[in-house]
Amino acid sequence: MNATEPRILLTGFEPFGGDSVNPSWEIARALDGWACEGHRVGAELLPCVFGDALLRLDEALAAHRPALVVCLGLAGGRTEISIERVAINVDDARIPDNSGRRPVDMAVEPGAPAAYFSTLPIKAIARDVRGAGIAAGVSNTAGTFVCNHVFYALMHRLATRPGLAHARGGFVHVPDTPAMPLADQIAGIRQVLRTAALTRHDVRETAGREH
Ligand code: PCA
């Protein structure tokens, strides 16, 4: 591996909530080492545990020093690849995490801003994934569980750490299998990374909803 090659950090989560697999990690590990538009993908597994997931994220950021970070998580019940728009500074767990932690109305980062936007070109990504024949859309909520926790912490780090000042990042939720077969999910995330690597300015087209 060329040490000067810009890196894409791609994370996935371990299974949670009684599941035996998590497609987010299956996708990330399938793409580990992939050469994407002049970048090299490095995959890392995050625990589905409040706090501990951020320690792993910090280790991964330090190890990869990425130009681009895309964190993946499973959103059971959704049927399309969801490009998340916004991370909020709230932990509010409906179910326990994998260590039995269940924070309610806690800040991810006390004293930090209420929310951060993804710095990925979310609409161009959703458009291009759909163009590849895979269901995708912009989502306006990443929830309040460990995925939003990681998304918020990632964006806070990108916004505040000088060493990460030039890195862009965001979060993508994927459907369960078999709602979307794993091969389609992998193809969809390849397109997410291609568009994210190549596109600096998002397209101006609505992904708005009334509710
Ligand atoms: N999905 C959960 C946490 C881990 C995952 O893959 C979520 O959406 O918060």
For atom 2 of ligand 1, the residue with the nearest CA is 147
Whether the CB-CB separation of 10 and 28 falls below 8 Å is answered with yes
Q: What is the pLDDT of residue 2?
A: 66
What does the pLDDT read at residue 52? 98
- Measured from the CB, is residue 12 less than 6 Å from ligand 1? no
112 inside domain: yes
The average confidence (pLDDT) of the chain is 97
Query: Is the full-model pTM beyond 0.85?
Result: yes
User: Does a structural domain hold residue 205?
Assistant: no
Residue 210 within any structural domain of the chain: no
CATH number at residue 85: 3.40.630.20
- Give the model's confidence band at 4: pLDDT under 50 very low, under 70 low, under 90 confident, else very high: confident
* Residue 70 confidence (pLDDT) above 60: yes
Side chain identity, residue 71: C
Q: Relative to the CA of 24, which ligand 1 atom is closest?
A: 6
In a domain, 204, yes or no: no
What's residue 211's pLDDT?
86
Q: What is the mean pLDDT of residues 78-82?
A: 98
Pocket test for ligand 1, best of 94, 146, 152 (most atoms within 8 A of CB): 146
Q: What is the pLDDT of residue 128?
A: 98
Residue 88 Cα, ligand 1 centroid: separation in angstroms? 15
Identify the bridge partners of residue 49 per DSSP, sorted by sequence position: none
Asked if residue 120 belongs to a domain, the reply is yes
Instruction: Report the atom number in ligand 1 closest to the C-alpha of 147.
Output: 9
- Domain extent, residue 193, equals 7-198
What is the average per-residue pLDDT within 78-95? 98
Ligand 1 contacts CB of residue 73 (under 6 A)? yes
User: What are 96-138's pLDDT values in tens digits?
Assistant: 999 999 999 999 999 999 999 999 999 999 999 999 999 999 9
Query: Given a cut of 60, is residue 1 above it in pLDDT?
Result: no
Run of H or E residues at 25: helix 23-30
Q: Which helix (H) or strand (E) holds 55?
A: helix 52-64
Of 185, 166, 167, 183, the C-alpha closest to 175 is: 185
d(CA 125, CA 45) in angstroms, rounded, equals: 23
Which candidate, 193, 210, 204, 200, places its Cα nearest to that of 83?
193
Catalytic residue among 26, 48, 147, 156: 147
Q: How many domains in the chain?
A: 1
Using the 8-state DSSP alphabet, how is residue 71 labeled?
E
Q: How far apart are CA 42 and CA 98, in angstroms?
A: 24
Average pLDDT over residues 24-41: 98
Phi, psi of 166 (to 5 degrees): -100, 0
1 CB burial (10 A radius; 0-12, 13-18, 19+): exposed
Q: Quick one: how far is CA 191 from the chain centroid? A: 14
Q: Which amino acid is at 45?
A: L
What atom in ligand 1 is closest to the CA of residue 173?
A: 8
- Please indicate, yes or no, if residue 208 is contained in any of the structural domains: no
Flag whether 25 is in a domain.
Answer: yes
| Percent of the chain surpassing pLDDT 70 | 99
Atom number of ligand 1 nearest to Cα 72: 6
Reply yes or no: is the peptide bond before residue 113 cis, omega within 30 of 0: no
Separation of CA 2 and ligand 1 centre (Å): 32
Whether 84 is catalytic: yes
71 is a catalytic site residue: no
Helix (H, G, I), strand (E, B) or coil at 75: coil
Q: Which pair of tokens denotes residue 63?
A: 């190890």
